[in-house]
Structure 1
């Protein structure tokens, strides 16, 4: 992407837009009743996400970039403004119904592809390197992941299918030493990086150990069966209050049948796969497990150094494996598999320091609260990042099986409330190195 000429860039943007729309159509290929139904107050009806995708595309690419007039009455903008209407109240709005929503997003997309063919991809900050189009690709793919989470929450039989994620029997070290020192965090050169990923800046990180792989179902089950959910010693005070109030006893979608544990996966109930990365845990659960294991969650800077730092060159890579875009050999991304893989399943994706599966499978909770980097500048709008700073949100990194490669980099930052677990979230743990260990 960094060296594409204008023709290549247009082709890539068109292909990314089309791929995102194919995914959107698959996720909304349900009957009208299903499309309009709200499956959880945490999530919008699928029809809201669908029209919101079209509305944001129209606002940025047709009205802002191309100077076109609105396609629908401007009151529609208010209906699909995520800041005006919390998810729990969206079903009560006079939303576009199924057929008009589909017609709207199709009309917007046709006009956008026409604009893409003709408009110069330079001369304005929004157009440099196709940023505005890339931002809309990422926005749609982010909503595709949100809609995938809605499918996981819905009751009834499965509507989505995919081949199983790969298994693995590779023996890996439990943890990897990450040497102390400075590294460059964030980016100034990634053309589609969003404002909270910028600017690049040097960070000093003391030596630490990090898990070679995400925490597995088997690892987490040991915590559950050791009474972890009944012992306040392991829990943040707010987490303990939440566990008691919400009646949590295991990760979301886990059930116990006799002595066996199962997990519901998009309408199917399956035996727990021991070596899969654990998924659907909130920050408080991840933090409690780490304390129980005598460890802690990594900071965001630690996570990024483990993912990007190359000790031979001293530079920060785009991805753990290098600067090349992800392929199916590198990571479990793009909804190819509707579940995490076994740990060790993607050796080609390991980092220069030997850490596996930092990209894909599960979003990984870090200990850090969401804030701007030194020198942060909100762009192109405050509501993407800045309004969330200081709100107690915890940072997640690395993407999940539901994340598309176009919406992910090793610098990409996600964030959510520490109680959220309907997202495809897991974690790995870390510990500080002693002076003796740091100089081995």
Structure 2
């Protein structure tokens, strides 16, 4: 190894160590914010007890980094089955003989100590799992993804507020309500991003017809107009499956909204407050998003349309890592990492807009796209089928861009999220698109 290569490897180790530290700091915040009774309680059958998430984070870190990358003896081989997400549905996890809060905290500390030693000794090259620290990046993203899941559990818990944050920055003026994306080819996915997960790979060409896309996500105020117009009571706006779900679930407004006299209020992490009309609507399912879009005379964008709007640079013809360029997200670019505990007003973060002028594509709210979860051409499962492959061709719909609860390490212009079209506990909103005629 040359001196330059050694310096680059040392810098990579420093970055990994910092990302691991930051993820654990967030996990600790989310679990230390409540007492042990709250940690072991199941706040919704859709979610695990917080203490399960914590120990699961440690178990995945042990499996991949301590045992596989490090070749070390197991720390707790006896709990592998308990924390295998595919063996135990979330609804059943409270009945398992889980580690108690003290045991879980001790376990994740012990695993992390061993992982940091493995990091110092690993060459970070050779087999694909360790090349450019991929396994470490995978585990960083895994922990941050569970941190967002735990944040969603906090939103579902009853009781006094325990999480606090400063408000997001204000909106900046918008030059237009929607932006025309020219037709033609662009490169979707990635073959170069070192920590990209298997479903983001490989890069491939897509040729799209021209289309219009909203400059910002749909706001609470815009969505309220749909409610006031009787949108939830008119089957014209809903797909057959969407209307069936709307009736079965008695949907009448976004989750956590309630009528209070002549106004709407929402509950946000234990705080009851008037619905802010200028924020992106959040906690709506795919069916609600699609119904609103049809009512508005538009539609939801496809996944490819979303990504082209987020990444394509018309000046160079290439696809960027992020809407603003190739630099990692900074606080001026996007609302990420539960820094503000709410979406920013629509029009915020002008420094994060795409070359076409589309804003808030990263952070604030996950955005529903009208595409199924399918593999890209040339897809190869890595390092295990259960991350992506087992979910392909289910009833899942795509979500792109991350939310205010997503960490910068766990989102990028190519990152793909997916969920059932009825899910509302996630921090999901949407923006609309419409067809444009070719010139």
| Structure 2 counterpart of 1:233 | 236
| Structure 1 counterpart of 2:249 | 246
Distance 1:360 1:205 in 2: 25
| Structure 1 counterpart of 2:332 | 329
Q: Does 1:200 align with 2:182?
A: no
Distance 2:402 2:417 in 1: 8
Identify the match of residue 70 of structure 1 among 71, 74, 79.
Answer: 74
| Structure 1 counterpart of 2:35 | 31
Report the alpha carbon displacement of residue 4 of structure 1 after superposing the two structures with TM. Answer: 8.2
Q: Deviations over 1:196-228 (max 9, x none)?
A: 000000000110000000000000000011111
In the TM superposition, what are the counterparts of 1:17-166 in structure 2 within 5 Å? Answer: 17-29=20-32, 30-72=34-76, 74-166=77-169
Q: Does 1:362 align with 2:378?
A: no
Report the alpha carbon displacement of residue 169 of structure 1 after superposing the two structures with TM. Answer: 5.0
Distance 1:163 1:261 in 2: 23
Report the alpha carbon displacement of residue 69 of structure 1 after superposing the two structures with TM. Answer: 1.3
Identify the match of residue 394 of structure 2 among 361, 371, 391.
Answer: 391
Local SS of the residue matching 1:262: strand
Q: Deviations over 1:183-202 (max 9, x none)?
A: 00000000000000000000
Q: Does 1:379 align with 2:404?
A: no
Q: Deviations over 1:393-423 (max 9, x none)?
A: 0000000000000011100000000000100
* Deviation beyond 2 Å, 4+ runs, structure 1: none
| Structure 2 counterpart of 1:285 | 288
Q: Deviations over 1:312-359 (max 9, x none)?
A: 000000000000010000000011010000011100000011101000
Cα pair 1:223 1:292 within 8 Å, conserved: yes
Identify the match of residue 168 of structure 1 among 168, 171, 194.
Answer: 171
| Structure 1 counterpart of 2:17 | 14
Report the alpha carbon displacement of residue 171 of structure 1 after superposing the two structures with TM. Answer: 3.3
Distance 2:64 2:276 in 1: 43
| Structure 1 counterpart of 2:322 | 319
In the TM superposition, what are the counterparts of 1:303-318 in structure 2 within 5 Å? Answer: 303-318=306-321
Distance 1:134 1:423 in 2: 23
Q: Deviations over 1:257-313 (max 9, x none)?
A: 111111110000111111101100000000000000010000000000000000000
Cα pair 1:308 1:317 within 8 Å, conserved: yes
Q: Deviations over 1:46-100 (max 9, x none)?
A: 000000000000000000111111112x331000000000000000001011111
Q: RMSD of aligned C-alpha atoms?
A: 1.0
Distance 1:34 1:361 in 2: 27
What TM-score do the two structures reach when normalised by structure 2?
0.98
Report the alpha carbon displacement of residue 172 of structure 1 after superposing the two structures with TM. Answer: 3.5
Local SS of the residue matching 1:383: coil
Local SS of the residue matching 1:384: coil
Cα pair 2:172 2:349 within 8 Å, conserved: no
| Structure 1 counterpart of 2:423 | 420
Distance 1:272 1:96 in 2: 39
Cα pair 2:172 2:350 within 8 Å, conserved: no
Report the alpha carbon displacement of residue 392 of structure 1 after superposing the two structures with TM. Answer: 1.1
What TM-score do the two structures reach when normalised by structure 1?
0.97
Distance 2:434 2:348 in 1: 24
Q: Does 1:433 align with 2:436?
A: yes
Local SS of the residue matching 1:5: helix
| Structure 1 counterpart of 2:3 | none
Q: Deviations over 1:145-170 (max 9, x none)?
A: 00000000001111100011222252
| Structure 2 counterpart of 1:191 | 194
Cα pair 1:251 1:281 within 8 Å, conserved: yes
Cα pair 1:172 1:344 within 8 Å, conserved: no
